[in-house]
Amino acid sequence: MRLAKIGALFGAALFGAGIAAPVLAQPAADTVAAIRQRGQLTCTVSPSTVGFSLPDSQGVWRGIDVDYCRAVAAALLGDPNKIRIVPSSTQQRFTMLQSGEVDMIVRTTTWTLAREASLGLLFAGINVYDGQGFMVHRDSGVTSARQLDGATVCVQPGTTTELNLADYFRANNLRYTPVVIENVEEVRSAFINRRCDVYTNDSSSLASFAASQGANANRYLLLPEIISKEPLGPAVRKGDARFFDIVRWTHFALLTAEEFGITQANIDSFATSTNPDIQRFMGRTGDLGRMLGLENDWAVRVIKAVGNYGEVWERNMTPIGFPRGVNNLWTRGGLQYAPPIR
């Protein structure tokens, strides 16, 4: 086993145990060359989170995280379908990236200091501003997290969710019994079958779970308390600035297109725009694509592949009932903001 892989597995094991692993020296990498040589971008995603990543009835992966994989493939390879989706558990995802099994994580993964400093990762942006919440059975009569003293709580191990849960109950002098289950489908099944009183996860994941229950969705209640900041987004390995830049600016291209009013359907009509910012975005001036090691029309390819950020949101998050809220553009009172593409 290569030294880099040993280090990756060691670091992930320590992190899963809540211990900060030392930062190991990162070997020089050329992820872009490797992707181009194989002709395919490899992403790891959640195996079954509606709105984020889930195969449809034809086996095609759908969701906001999958769309980010497609967007990067469009920028880098000119084809959003040149991707390989690899589902992973919460504990597998980091070692899969560290070992080189996948090129990027886009898996409802929270950006934290420990994950960047100890696991050799870099987060390239925030595709969903989220926060941890609690879901209960509606017939329990519970309407606030402050009423959960003595509750049993279903939670996945090796996650920020598990740590936040402990912090919240300790800070509020509440008792609880964790029911720790790694597989997300088993967690949900345990909650449905009342092996636990409460299911805790990112509020978007809880909304995804409720949406997946169809006519039974009204049996469950999302409590009003949000107990943490959970900025979710794509992560890549440290040591490869070129690939990091491509992933990060792909995210910014999605936001910029929405700000300009550029959509998947109307983007060709902007080819003759005299607006200097739009000319640069469309690749007509500035030579900005070549600065990233891409074609100058890379952003056009991204929007033609998946649409702008608002379209990605409407396609994936709105159907599960997750409000856009702080994920609106900054011009609409939200937090999503892109630096100038110039």
Average pLDDT over residues 136-160: 96
The confidence band for 229, taking pLDDT boundaries of 50, 70 and 90, is: very high
The confidence band for 315, taking pLDDT boundaries of 50, 70 and 90, is: very high
Number of Cβ atoms within 10 Å of the Cβ of 177:
10
Three-state SS string over 20-32 comes to CCCCCCCCCCCHH
Q: Which residue ranges form the domains of the chain, and what is each CATH number?
A: 31-127+234-321 (3.40.190.10), 132-230 (3.40.190.10)
Considering only 3-7, 120-124, 188-192, 319-323, which range has the smallest mean pLDDT?
3-7
Name residues whose C-beta falls within 8 Å of residue 190's C-beta, 6 or more positions apart in sequence: 154, 179, 181, 196
Per-residue pLDDT for 20 more than 90? Answer: no
Per-residue pLDDT for 24 more than 70? Answer: no
pTM of the model: 0.87
The confidence band for 1, taking pLDDT boundaries of 50, 70 and 90, is: very low
CA distance linking residue 44 with residue 13, whole number of Å? 18
Q: What is the pLDDT of residue 29?
A: 76
Instruction: Calculate the average pLDDT of the chain.
Output: 92
Question: Max Cα separation, the chain?
Answer: 64
Model confidence over 108-118: pLDDT tens digits?
999 999 999 99
Q: What is the pLDDT of residue 158?
A: 85
Beta strands in 188-326 (DSSP E): 198-202, 220-222, 230-232, 235-237
- Amino acid present at 189: S
| Higher pLDDT among residues 26 and 140, named by residue | 140
Strand, helix or coil for residue 220:
strand
Angle between helices 31-38 and 241-260 (to 10 degrees): 80
Per-residue pLDDT for 96 more than 90? Answer: yes
Angle between helices 298-306 and 64-77 (to 10 degrees): 150
Secondary element (H or E) of residue 170: helix 160-171
CA distance linking residue 252 with residue 182, whole number of Å? 33
